Amino acid sequence: MPPSRRLAAVLPLCLIAAASIAQLPRNGANPVVSPQNSATISYADTADMVLAAPLLAIVTVDQSTALKGPQAAGVAPGLARLFVEATVDTLVRGAGGISPKVSYLVDIPLDTANRTPKPPKLKKQRFLVLARPVAGRPAEIMLVGPKAHIPWTPDAEARVRRVLAETLAPGAAPAITGITSAFHVPGSLPGESETQIFLKTADSRPISLNVLRRPGERPRWAVSLTEMVDNSAAPPPRDTLLWYRLACGLPRLMPQTVVDSLQGADKAAAQADYQLVLAGLGACGRSR
């Protein structure tokens, strides 16, 4: 197909891609980083994209064309929208397969090496792409977000594959959808107490948070993935799927309905223990 006809055919895809980018989550703390800098893409951003992308492939760019006018509607300052045609080197994920040649749109920072910024040249460069198929167009894909076009390096591939393996593993941590209840029980000694917070998940699997306070010791908290509280459990390591589910999925405050179910001093104690858990998890790190 001649370039002019290819660009005309991709116009509807431009509008879809712009809408998809605009709908990404915006509740993270970190600033938006360049889609070209894969080392700064956080675990949370990577997990967001892996969970949203039924297609994950390594491609080599055959050619890229800068779009202008209506085809570049909504492009942020300092970025260029490119129509990319590429060869698929490796299909990492894709149950329905993928065409050996694909095309897609991507917004990429302008090359500022010269006095006049210009769209970068991508020909022969390799990228990890996280995408969705386009219905009725087997050779076209749509990136799941502005960072879903990652310059390929062995480290970048290993990082994405690790997150993918975590999400596909049996018993992978489910999405947190809310807090169902909380209990606070004072101990027999002054300063001793235990708080249990029960979470709601997308697949109805039980997850609970447990906070223990003992006199003369630092408070300890843990997460349990069974209906029984596991006293040997520990906080999840940062940059793991369970950490991501909690750090990015828990509300900043316990719902009022949960708090109102507690009595007297138990309310303040449970709220303080919940904030202890949030502080221990740290910021989600989602950039959009």
Model pLDDT for residues 57-99, shown as the tens digit of each residue: 999 999 999 999 999 999 999 999 999 999 999 999 999 899 9
Query: Does the pLDDT at position 254 exceed 50?
Result: yes
pTM higher than 0.85: no
> Rounded to whole angstroms, how far apart are CA atoms 92 and 86?
16
CB 9 within 8 A of CB 134: no
Are 11 and 142 members of one domain?
yes
Q: What order do you get walking across the sheet with 193-201 strand by strand?
A: 176-186, 193-201, 207-213, 220-224
Domain that holds residue 236: 176-281
Are 217 and 95 members of one domain?
no
Instruction: Evaluate whether residue 39 is within a structural domain.
Output: yes
% of the chain surpassing 90 pLDDT? 75
User: What's the number of domains the chain is made of?
Assistant: 2
Residue with tokens 């249990």: 196
Computed over every residue of the chain, the mean pLDDT equals 87
Are 126 and 258 members of one domain?
no
Tokens representing residue 52 in the block: 């949203």
Query: Does the pLDDT at position 276 exceed 60?
Result: yes
Instruction: Evaluate whether residue 287 is within a structural domain.
Output: no
Are 41 and 143 members of one domain?
yes
With bands split at pLDDT 50, 70 and 90, how would you rate the model's confidence at 277?
very high
Instruction: Evaluate whether residue 167 is within a structural domain.
Output: no
Considering only 25-34, 112-121, 161-170, which range has the smallest mean pLDDT? 25-34
Are 12 and 132 members of one domain?
yes
Are 49 and 81 members of one domain?
yes
Q: How far is CA 6 from the centre of its chain?
A: 31
Query: What would the mean pLDDT of 7-13 be, rounded to a whole number?
Result: 52
With bands split at pLDDT 50, 70 and 90, how would you rate the model's confidence at 114?
confident
With bands split at pLDDT 50, 70 and 90, how would you rate the model's confidence at 9?
low
CB 80 within 8 A of CB 107: yes
Query: What would the mean pLDDT of 237-245 be, rounded to a whole number?
Result: 97
Are 230 and 113 members of one domain?
no
Q: How far is CA 133 from the centre of its chain?
A: 19
Query: What would the mean pLDDT of 164-170 be, rounded to a whole number?
Result: 97
Query: Does the pLDDT at position 174 exceed 90?
Result: yes
Give the best-scoring range by mean pLDDT among 104-113, 223-232, 239-248. 239-248
Report the alpha-carbon angle 259-260-263, nearest 5.
90
pLDDT of residue 213: 95
Tokens representing residue 95 in the block: 């149950």
Query: Does the pLDDT at position 156 exceed 90?
Result: yes
Query: Does the pLDDT at position 243 exceed 60?
Result: yes
Q: Where are the beta strands (DSSP E) in the chain?
A: 55-66, 79-93, 101-109, 126-134, 137-143, 149-151, 176-186, 193-201, 207-213, 220-224
Instruction: Evaluate whether residue 54 is within a structural domain.
Output: yes
